[in-house]
Amino acid sequence: MKAVNITQFIARWQDLGLGDTANVAWHVTEASENLVRALLARLGPGYRLQGEVAVHETARVEPGAVIKGPVIIGPDCFVATGAYLRGGVYLGSHCIIGPSCELKSSFMLNGSKLAHFNFVGDSLLGENVNIEAGAVIANYRNELNGTSISLLYNQSVIETGVSKFGALVGDGTKIGANAVVAPGALLRPGTIVPRLGLIDQLVRV
């Protein structure tokens, strides 16, 4: 499983300081609540803390956004009315979560954006990822009745052992409007997913 090196997709992943236990993407998302709590315990100055929700003083959260901790919203982020953050969420700096977006058990690094009407579940998004309106990163294979997610990487099949995992999305990836990224996707840095596109890397055995 360690053959999928997060830093090959997200160059500055190690800057979060989560340690060697956070090197497998689906383990990170599965443990996202505890990992965000660990980051909450050592936040730098400039954050306002309410319960398990930390919002940087330069960030803007509009009325009507629903935020269920543990959540960290970094410097100069914007979270719009109707956004829903839950299940352990980390936003780096200059991230945008648009109206009616849901972000669950996920990490978004600096400069990444969800436009509006997006769902992103159990995923790691690198820096400067842009997801246009209506695009979805799904986290559960409904058609497989909860079977654990497997994926193909470097001609090898990897069994994740988890039933919920969305995607590992490399730096600079762009996902077009109304595209669907199926569970268990690995998107290399700079990937472009066309509008109405489907990325499905299901391993069929």
Q: Which residues of 173-191 are buried (b: 16+ CB within 10 A; e: fewer)?
A: bbbbbebbbbbbbbbebeb
Q: What is the pLDDT of residues 85-132, one digit of tens each?
A: 999 999 999 999 999 999 999 999 999 999 999 999 999 999 999 999
The CATH fold of domain 6-199: UDP N-Acetylglucosamine Acyltransferase; domain 1 (2.160.10)
Q: Which residue has the higher pLDDT, 120 or 19?
A: 120
Domain boundaries, the chain: 6-199
**Beta bridge pairs of residue 103:** 85, 120
Please write down the HEC assignment for all residues of 109-120.
CCCCEECCCCEE
The pLDDT assigned to 205 comes to 52
Q: Which residues of 71-82 are buried (b: 16+ CB within 10 A; e: fewer)?
A: bbbbbbbbbbeb
The pLDDT assigned to 202 comes to 77
Q: CB of 3 within 8 A of CB of 165?
A: no
| Mean predicted lDDT score pLDDT of the chain | 94
The pLDDT assigned to 20 comes to 77
Catalytic residue among 27, 56, 94, 116: 116
Confidence of residue 2 (pLDDT cuts 50, 70, 90): very low
116 an active-site residue?
Answer: yes
**Residues 104, 54: Cα–Cα separation, whole Å:** 16
Q: CB of 28 within 8 A of CB of 187?
A: no
pTM of the entire predicted model: 0.96
Q: What is the pLDDT of residues 166-205, one digit of tens each?
A: 999 999 999 999 999 999 999 999 999 999 999 998 766 5
Q: What is the pLDDT of residues 40-91, one digit of tens each?
A: 999 999 999 999 999 999 999 999 999 999 999 999 999 999 999 999 999 9
The pLDDT assigned to 1 comes to 42
State the first-to-last Cα distance of the chain, in angstroms, to the nearest integer: 19
